[in-house]
Homo-oligomer: A and B are copies of this chain.
Amino acid sequence: MTIADHLGFEMSPASLSVGQVAAAAGVTANAVRFYERYGVITGHRNSGNARRFTVDAICRIKLALAAQRVGLTLKESADILAGIPPLSRDLQQWVAAGEELVRIGRTRVDQLQATVNELATLDFLQNTRQGRPQA
Contacts and interface: CB of A to CB of B under 8 A. Distances in A.
A128 B62 contact: yes
Instruction: Say how many copies of this protein the assembly contains.
Output: 2
A58 B108 contact: no
A123 B95 CA distance: 10
A8 interface: yes
A8 B22 CA distance: 57
Given A108-B112, A133-B16, A134-B17, A125 B59 contact: yes
Contact of A119 (B16, B69, B115, B124): B69
A30 interface: no
* Most chain B CB atoms below 10 A, which of A17, A125, A132: A125
Contacts of A49: none
A69 B115 contact: yes
Given A109-B109, A109-B113, 8 more contacts: A7-B126, A7-B128, A7-B129, A16-B130, A62-B124, A63-B125, A66-B124, A71-B112
Interface of A: 6-9, 12-17, 20, 23-24, 46, 55, 58-59, 62-63, 65-66, 69-71, 94-95, 98-99, 101-102, 105-106, 108-109, 112-113, 115-116, 119-120, 122, 124-135
